[in-house]
Structure 1
């Protein structure tokens, strides 16, 4: 009777069959519950289930996609306020703005369950909730389950049964199993494969996971202990530098900025490099035909240098070697348009060296920061050599390209930049202010990946 549509995840026939199986399971579960003579126990450690989405009385006005919204919620016992785009989901807000990276992202379709968290006491997919939906809610992530010095019984059982291998599904498994054991009704070993089927295991630890959950259920028949690490504390964002939003903790007197555009630059504050490892590093050495002095003259003139950056445009000089601009990049169907700020922090005319820090964000929640170092050197046979290296810090959609692809695309952008600098230094026609070809970037990055793979196989 149900007319279902098919897509890349399943055909109409598969979806109809799956619907019948799920409906039969739920009907059988209801029958078993009604026939069970034993009294049903109430949740011992959490509030009654509530819809994790924001109640209607907390609904807010419609917000344009390019604006940011201040959202306040409690996460692991601490109140946090983040400023996020309206379309940013909760998982990205937790990872990028609050610094709680234990919540993993897999399919981002609500299928794999890796991003499972507790919202108002109920398990929820963090990739299917917008952060703005969680205004005023109580959130518990895997970091709140146990302390390093005092693990939760579930964590202890997972360790004892070796219930992990790659570890990617472990946060989702822990939070989903906690939700199961904290809820009403008995948990039996026979039903665990079905009851834990909402999180997909990607390696060989699944039997250990079921054994661990069964042990905890047997050891705590009256309800699993509450999360042990939910108490007020200072929440630290991922970045120690400037950010696209702020995470504030009431009562803790702390504020940590995350990635993106920092409006404090207009007031004379210096841009800083984020703490931690970069998402990708790039090193490009290009041989140019123009002499080194002519190349340096282009690098030393911000307007001429920006004109050589693919897809970039200078919109405002803020003074003190600080600038505002835009940049665009496209890779296949993903098109990103960044508004950002840049600051030249080192300029050595004698050594022909320049260092620049830039940061930007787009309306879709992507953010990037870069520490770029340029150096021009005379070549032995004439001409010059331009060396460019950069540390890139990515978040949001642009980070989902992966480190290797992000590095390949950035490398090709720097190669195009070097060609444009050479043309400008030689007095040829100024390069067009258009973005790089997404098809060429994608094909070039793919060919580089294939070459690396072939080289690895040959060495083996």
Structure 2
């Protein structure tokens, strides 16, 4: 294998399917942080001494800096992001807060994962045993006393078993292999292992961002609609998207990969086409998906194509509800990136309708994202200034 070659490694992280394309020398810690954006796994010594990078691999504590990503093909991995959510913390996290065991926070993920592993394997551990049992993770702030008190409180309150994690889906394990790479998965009972459709419930709140795109294309309406009626061809027009399962009755499971500079996200979820009208050339679909880091996207999407001149115009409307890292980019940037993806989609749809191969578009670089963010901020400032001027003029009148 050449030095610049990569392997595809698939596993579950916090109960959710994930895959990374990495060089064989990339550690699990770097794959989690750089490829999946799970930066809660901290790196300290990178020699397996400090314990900052502790994660659970198939239920046992492991140093992520000492494992190669290609060694965990098919494994079930739990990181600190799977332990709890902002609005539903794990009892260990709550106890760390009560006992002021956080200090600078650098060792905290390793301490929490080590404590969870200890209470999972040795329920009923006594407070007297904890200083030795918890010595595998180093604290630079010498805050051991508070950390021990926090773990002791949870151990005493749960003598039989540690409370389960609060941000892990039910994991579907992939078969283990000795090296990374794509492989076909055929379980003994294929029917039982096949995923099933779920009911999509859209939030009743205002969406995080609303997208409206109107693109003139050269393909005629009938040709565009032929593609829109074929869900598999339609999905291939969306950058980074693929269909994984067809449940019938216009219900599907799919994956979409989103690259925002150095941040790479992979969402897996369900799609339900609730309207497909050949008279008005309209499709409406609901979708919900999660990424390995616990982020989620729910979308109500409407596509419509109408004749215009010798070609047609594609209308795309979407209300997006986002949580997790993708929402942390800010409403303006998330809106700009989503709108750009929809424009790429309409161009690919036009090319497919004309019998051409869609042009692949490279994900934006970090510099491009920064430029987008600056542009979005300037637009927001201009809007606020114009609004303030209008309000002032009204008051003067």
Which TM bucket (shorter chain)?
A: 0.5 to 0.7
Instruction: Kindly indicate whether residue 286 of structure 2 is the aligned counterpart of residue 357 of structure 1.
Output: yes
Aligned partner of residue 318 in structure 1, secondary structure: strand
Distance, in Å, in 2 between the alignment partners of 1:308 and 1:348 is 20
The answer on whether the counterparts of 1:413 and 1:436 sit within 8 Å (CA) in structure 2 is no
After TM superposition, the structure 1 = structure 2 runs for residues 259-408 of structure 1, keeping only pairs within 5 Å, are: 266-379=195-308, 381-408=309-336
Distance, in Å, in 2 between the alignment partners of 1:342 and 1:267 is 12
**Larger RCO (CA under 8 A, 6+ residues apart):** 2
Instruction: Kindly indicate whether residue 94 of structure 2 is the aligned counterpart of residue 94 of structure 1.
Output: no
Per-residue CA deviation, residues 165-200 of structure 1 (Å, 9 max, x unaligned), is xxxxxxxxxxxxxxxxxxxxxxxxxxxxxxxxxxxx
Match of 1:36 in 2: none
Consecutive aligned runs of 4 or more in structure 1 exceeding 3 Å deviation? 62-69, 116-121, 123-136, 243-246, 263-269, 434-446, 454-460
Query: How much has 1:309 moved relative to structure 2?
Result: 0.5
- Greater Rg by CA: 1
Query: How much has 1:383 moved relative to structure 2?
Result: 2.0
Match of 2:340 in 1: 412
Distance, in Å, in 1 between the alignment partners of 2:347 and 2:227 is 12
Match of 1:437 in 2: 364
Distance, in Å, in 1 between the alignment partners of 2:247 and 2:265 is 24
After TM superposition, the structure 1 = structure 2 runs for residues 60-459 of structure 1, keeping only pairs within 5 Å, are: 61-62=60-61, 85-88=78-81, 93-95=85-87, 119=96, 121-123=98-100, 125=102, 128=105, 129-130=108-109, 245=169, 266-379=195-308, 381-432=309-360, 436-438=363-365, 440=368, 442-457=370-385
Q: Which consecutive unaligned segments of at least 5 residues does structure 1 have?
A: 1-59, 70-84, 99-115, 137-242, 247-262
Note the aligned Cα RMSD (angstroms). Answer: 4.2
Distance, in Å, in 2 between the alignment partners of 1:371 and 1:385 is 20
TM (normalized to structure 2)? Answer: 0.52
Per-residue CA deviation, residues 356-396 of structure 1 (Å, 9 max, x unaligned), is 122222223322222211111222x3422211111212222
Aligned residues: 252
The answer on whether the counterparts of 1:65 and 1:363 sit within 8 Å (CA) in structure 2 is no
Summarize the Cα distance change of 1:126–1:283 in structure 2 as closer, same or farther, 3 Å threshold: farther
Distance, in Å, in 2 between the alignment partners of 1:285 and 1:390 is 12
Aligned partner of residue 248 in structure 2, secondary structure: coil
Per-residue CA deviation, residues 177-228 of structure 1 (Å, 9 max, x unaligned), is xxxxxxxxxxxxxxxxxxxxxxxxxxxxxxxxxxxxxxxxxxxxxxxxxxxx
Higher alpha-carbon deviation: 123-132 or 331-340:
123-132
